[in-house]
Amino acid sequence: MSVPLLQAFQVGRYIAGRKLRGVKRYPLVLMLEPLFQCNLACAGCGKIDHPKEILQKRMSVADALRAVDECGAPMVSIPGGEPLIHKDMPQLVAGIVARRKFVYLCTNAILLPKHIDEYRPSPYLTFSIHLDGNRQRHDESVCQEGVFDKAVAAIRLARAKGFRVTVNCTLFSGEDPDHVAEFFDEAMALGIEGITVSPGYSYQHAPRQDVFLGRNQSKRLFREIFKRGRSKRSASRGSAGRWSFNHSGLFLDFLAGNQAYQCTPWSTPTYNLFGWQRPCYLLTDEGYASSFRSLMEDTDWGRYGVGRNPACDNCMAHCGFEGTAVDDAFTHPLKALKSAIRGPRIAGPMAPDLPITYREHVRHSVTAAAVPEVILTRRESGLRQPRELQ
Ligand code: SF4
Ligand code: SF4
């Protein structure tokens, strides 16, 4: 784990408080999407498929901060769209930092040199830079040449100005574990704090459908990558080898196929221009709640997760499973310590997948209105349209 002690302490105290009070479901990271517009159109993006009038909308700072307070999570991740397009982003970030919450501002970094002086370095602010691999791989992934070089220059600039920086890497089909390992080396050499990594979620509305990894492919790929990290452990910097990850040890072990975790989508609730998105950051057609309380109390959580819903079949994203791993670490601290020291297991049998039960659910959902207080799904409200480029 690469997070600084201050963050580990504050987040640990928050979780311990929830556990002591017997709270079963608690938010860990608020995913705040204050706009959907982006200056890129990546092949695997499931966020920019909106009509122009929605892409031009911006969430107000007051609305965003109200959601931060309502949710109460100790960490706030701001993806998008591209957050740096939002002209009030510096005020929004300052408002969250003033609340002593840890902000991850997720950006493709193209606009970072232009806007960086609107932000002040703080232990509560991290620029999470989108980089999916080496120059060729990343430029291919974002469908535009030259973006890798801009992102790397922006990382160097942000580090030179004293900002916390992480790299957010999504892996797709056709990855070569050697290349990924080399890319992780390259990223760490830029002086970043750590790498956030997940297999790409197979968004139904992404421009390309052939880029996503299946569940077993993901597990095999991560074992191969971690093997390469382990092979040079003499220069080790993190539990999976010489790299630092912005994840718990047990989440890495899950990626390597050793933990049969169920998703806990409430750990990363999503607030965007439509409201509180049910059930998670990735599923966008399940409706919205009007309040955080309604999201937590009225969502039929049993309909989602591994084996419970076909849309969850290949999902191993950190927004679904990092919360599970962290909760497991608090419940089983010795197991977590062992995993942190040894790193993810890279050989031997994998943990069996959870059983498929969704035939039953699909049959049930045909006869019952399973989601109460859904405002409107985007399809019902006519918002789902072919993607328009800005
Ligand atoms: S940079 Fe992010 S938000 Fe923009 S198109 Fe790419 S994946 Fe989507
Ligand atoms: S497994 Fe969880 S995070 Fe993934 S799509 Fe399903 S509900 Fe969302």
Residue 320 C-alpha to ligand 2 middle, in angstroms? Answer: 5
Cβ atoms 228, 242 nearer than 8 A: no
pLDDT for position 362: 53
Question: Is the pLDDT reported for residue 363 higher than 60?
Answer: no
Using a 6 Å CB cutoff, which residues line ligand 1? 38, 40-42, 45, 47-48, 80-82, 108, 130, 142
Stretch 366-377: mean pLDDT: 35
Q: What separation in Å is there between the alpha carbon of 131 and the centre of ligand 1?
A: 11
At 371 the pLDDT is 35
Ligand 1 centroid, distance to 365 Cα (angstroms): 33
Find the range with the poorest average confidence among 38-42, 91-95, 233-237, 341-345: 233-237
Of 31, 33, 48, 127, best ligand 1 pocket probe by most atoms within 8 Å of the beta carbon? 48
pLDDT of residue 133: 95
Evaluate if residue 373 carries a pLDDT over 50.
Answer: no
Say which ligand is closest to the CA of 306: 2
Among 244, 149, 143, which residue's Cα sits nearest to residue 194?
244
Per-residue pLDDT, 82: 98
Ligand 1 probe mutation, 32, 35, 39, 42, most atoms within 8 A of CB: 42
310 alpha carbon to ligand 2 midpoint, in Å?
10
Could you tell me the pLDDT band of residue 374, with boundaries at 50, 70 and 90? Answer: very low
Q: Of 110-119, 236-245, 370-379, which range is least confident? A: 370-379
pLDDT higher than 80, residue 2: no
pLDDT at 214: 83
AA identity, residue 124: Y
Region of 142 (left: φ > 0; alpha: ψ -120 to 50; beta: rest) is: alpha
CA of 201 to the centre of ligand 1 (A): 13
Residues with CB under 6 A from ligand 2: 263, 265, 279-280, 282-283, 304-305, 311-312, 315, 317, 319-320
Cα-to-centroid distance, 288 and ligand 1 (Å): 22
Mean pLDDT of 81-99: 98
For ligand 1, atom 3, which residue shows the shortest CA distance?
A: 81
Confidence of residue 360 (pLDDT cuts 50, 70, 90): low
How far apart are the CA of 118 and the centre of ligand 1, in A? 22
Cα 205 → chain centroid: 18
Neighbours of 299 (CB within 10 A): 26
Indicate the pairing of strand 270-272 with strand 275-277. antiparallel
The 3-class SS string of 207-269 reads: CCCCCCCCHHHHHHHHHHHHHHHHCCHHHCCECCECCCECCCHHHHHHHCCCCCCCCCHHHCC
CA of 106, nearest ligand number: 1
pLDDT band at 163 (very low <50, low <70, confident <90, very high): very high
Mean pLDDT (the chain) is: 88
* Residue 40 tokens, joined: 């890129």
For the CA of 33, the nearest ligand: 1
What's the pLDDT score for residue 204?
65
- Token pair belonging to 131: 């980089």
In the prediction, which pLDDT does 388 show?
28
- The confidence score (pLDDT) of residue 366 equals 40
- Give tens-digit pLDDT for 182-197: 999 999 999 999 999 9
What is the position in ligand 1's atom list of the atom closest to the CA of 40?
5
The average pLDDT across 31-55 equals 93
Query: Starting at the edge strand that comes first in sequence, how are the strands of the sheet with 75-78 ordered?
Result: 194-199, 164-171, 125-130, 102-107, 75-78, 29-32, 270-272, 275-277, 288-289
Protein residue whose Cα sits closest to atom 3 of ligand 2: 320
- Which residue is closest in CA terms to ligand 2's atom 8? 280
pLDDT per position as a tens digit, 274-319: 999 999 999 999 999 999 999 999 999 999 999 999 999 989 999 9
What are the CA-CA distances from residue 224 to residues 141, 151, 175, 239 (Å)? 21, 26, 11, 15
Pull the structure tokens for residue 196.
């956030």
**Euclidean distance between CA atoms 242 and 254, whole angstroms:** 19
The mean pLDDT of 33-49, rounded to a whole number, is 92
Please report, in angstroms and rounded to a whole number, the separation of the first and last CA atoms in the chain: 38
**pLDDT surpasses 80 at 4:** yes
Mean pLDDT for the stretch of residues 91-112:
98
pLDDT band for position 207 (cuts 50, 70, 90): low
Q: Is the pLDDT of residue 353 over 90?
A: no
At 80 the pLDDT is 79
CA of 81 to the centre of ligand 1 (A): 6
Residue 3 or residue 59, greater confidence: 59
Q: Which atom of ligand 1 is nearest to the CA of 142?
A: 6
- Nearest ligand 2 atom to the CA of 305 is 1
Q: Report the percentage of the chain scoring pLDDT > 70.
A: 87
Greater model confidence, 361 or 320: 320
Element (H, E) at 30: strand 29-32
The number of residues making up the chain comes to 390
Looking at residue 332, what is its pLDDT?
96
Q: What is the mean pLDDT of residues 29-41?
A: 97
Q: Does residue 380 have a pLDDT over 90?
A: no
**Encoding tokens for residue 194?**
């750590």
pLDDT reported for residue 381: 34
Q: Which of 3-7, 66-70, 188-192 has the lowest mean pLDDT?
A: 3-7
Q: Which of 28, 202, 283 to mutate to test the pocket of ligand 2 (most atoms within 8 A of CB)?
A: 283
